[in-house]
């Protein structure tokens, strides 16, 4: 699909139902702190579908993006936004026991989308930031998820993950519960079969080889990379 940038191209009417099963990539725009326009457009060009989680659609015009789908309980998307994106598919999910981000991820998973880039999932409200980072684990490892903001990106890791980053980049490991069998390769401070207990973190490590190997044998951890997300990381 090539229709995510409103001022560059004409919108493609391909929807979730027509997406191929060849691991399409989705950009999910949430209702937190909007990213810079350059980042949003760069990510959108690498994605097959753009989904806005409720009020996340309100930031799309300023970013030059055109959502294919707007989904949520629709309590925060503005009527003017819905009018502007009248060609978008609008999915009203009334249930109140999930966040709008969860509703969007559920929709994508049902459409066989297995790779998702999240923008606007952090910032503004600390409770929603922490909630968004917590509920991600419901979708891992069935979905490969990357959360990104200006100057950073993060990936949830269970098991083994190979990553690429420039030498000198700062990288941190934030466990969600106890982690065992933690092995880090390609970093200044390597670990081999280590454990990180509840409340323990491994922050401000430094990349010393462009190819990084991270293993979380048991448990789960968020790996935060202090660098701009680029097409090479998607």
Token pair listed for 223: 């790996």
Half-sphere exposure of 46 (CA within 13 A, CB side): 16
Distance of alpha carbon 181 from alpha carbon 200, whole angstroms? 14
The answer to whether 134 touches 152, Cβ cutoff 8 Å, is no
CA angle 85, 89, 95 (to 5 degrees): 115
Q: Which regions of 93-138 does DSSP assign to beta strands (E)?
A: 115-119
Q: What are the structural domains of the chain?
A: 1-150 (3.40.50.10240), 151-228 (2.60.120.320)
- How much is the pLDDT for 96? 87
pTM, two decimals, is 0.86
Tens place of pLDDT per residue across the chain (234 aa): 334 544 433 333 334 333 444 679 999 999 999 999 999 999 999 999 999 999 999 999 999 999 999 999 999 999 999 999 999 999 999 888 899 999 999 999 999 999 999 999 998 899 999 999 999 999 998 899 999 999 999 999 999 999 999 999 999 999 999 999 999 999 999 999 999 999 999 999 999 999 999 999 999 999 999 999 987 666
Distance of alpha carbon 72 from alpha carbon 90, whole angstroms? 9
């Amino acid at each position: 699909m090539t229709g995510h940038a409103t001022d560059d191209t004409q919108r493609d009417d391909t929807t979730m139902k027509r997406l191929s099963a060849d691991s399409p990539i989705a950009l999910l725009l949430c209702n937190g702190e909007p990213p810079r326009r350059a980042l949003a457009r760069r990510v959108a060009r690498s994605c097959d579908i753009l989904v806005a989680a409720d009020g996340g659609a309100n930031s799309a015009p300023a970013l030059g993006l055109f959502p294919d789908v707007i989904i949520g309980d629709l309590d925060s998307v503005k009527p003017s936004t819905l009018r502007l994106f009248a060609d978008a598919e609008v999915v009203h999910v009334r249930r109140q026991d999930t966040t709008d981000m969860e509703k969007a991820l559920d929709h994508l998973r049902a459409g066989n989308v297995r790779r998702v880039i999240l923008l606007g999932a952090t910032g503004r409200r600390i409770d929603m930031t922490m909630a968004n980072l917590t509920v991600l684990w419901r979708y891992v490892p069935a979905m490969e998820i990357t959360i990104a903001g200006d100057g950073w990106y993060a990936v949830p890791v269970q098991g083994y993950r190979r990553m690429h980053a420039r030498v000198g980049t700062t990288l941190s490991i934030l466990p969600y519960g106890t982690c065992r069998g933690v092995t880090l390769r390609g970093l200044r401070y390597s670990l081999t079969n280590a454990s990180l207990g509840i409340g323990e973190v491994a922050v401000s490590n430094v990349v010393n080889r462009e190819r990084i190997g991270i293993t979380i044998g048991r448990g789960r951890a968020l790996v935060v990379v202090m660098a701009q997300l680029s097409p090479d990381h998607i």
